[in-house]
């Protein structure tokens, strides 16, 4: 049965990312250290579907604004992605967010399509912002009906 559990940094090691070329892009990155920093930054969860299948979280930037990160296994099916999208919207409501943003490497078109499916819109390119000087594309979900209070 699929369910969320509290995120632990070592979950980063168990969730194989959905992109086949991620490992070369993350070469030299300490995923355990990245997991520790992610856990300290804000609420995080791991989705279990027999095994760790996805993990993610948000970092509150300032009141009403946050940044989301997500790591999804290649083995994740459509039901997993629907649950992750639902969790994103639960976090938006739980934390009274008016803006939630995400970054995707410039060359990873499938990430761009995924963030658009999640309900985010492309805002622009951040030059040399990512690991190893990669360009990153900024996406955001923005509440249209004014600030939540």
| Pairwise CA distance, residues 91 & 68, whole Å | 10
Average of per-residue pLDDT values in the chain: 87
The string of pLDDT tens digits covering residues 100-118 is 999 998 877 788 999 999 9
Q: Where are the domains of the chain?
A: 3-142
Residue with tokens 């992109």: 19
The string of pLDDT tens digits covering residues 52-104 is 999 999 999 999 999 999 988 888 889 999 999 999 999 999 999 999 999 99
Tell which wins on pLDDT, 73 or 121: 121
3-142 — its CATH code? 3.40.630.30
Tell which wins on pLDDT, 98 or 27: 98
| Pairwise CA distance, residues 131 & 84, whole Å | 25
Measured in degrees and rounded to the nearest 5, phi and psi for residue 27 equal -55, 130
């Amino acid at each position: 049965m699929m369910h969320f559990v509290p995120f632990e940094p070592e979950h980063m090691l168990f969730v194989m990312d959905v992109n086949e070329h991620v490992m070369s892009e993350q070469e030299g990155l300490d995923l355990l250290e990245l997991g520790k920093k992610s856990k300290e930054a804000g609420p995080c969860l791991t989705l279990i579907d027999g095994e760790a299948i996805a993990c993610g979280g948000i970092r509150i930037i300032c009141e009403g604004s946050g940044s989301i990160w997500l790591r999804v296994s290649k083995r994740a099916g459509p039901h997993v992605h629907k649950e992750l999208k639902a969790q994103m919207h639960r976090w938006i409501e739980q934390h009274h967010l008016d803006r939630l943003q995400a970054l995707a490497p410039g060359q990873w078109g499938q990430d761009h399509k995924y963030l658009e499916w999640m309900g985010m819109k492309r805002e622009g390119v951040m030059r040399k912002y990512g690991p190893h000087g990669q360009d990153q594309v900024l996406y955001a979900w923005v509440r249209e009906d004014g600030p939540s209070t």
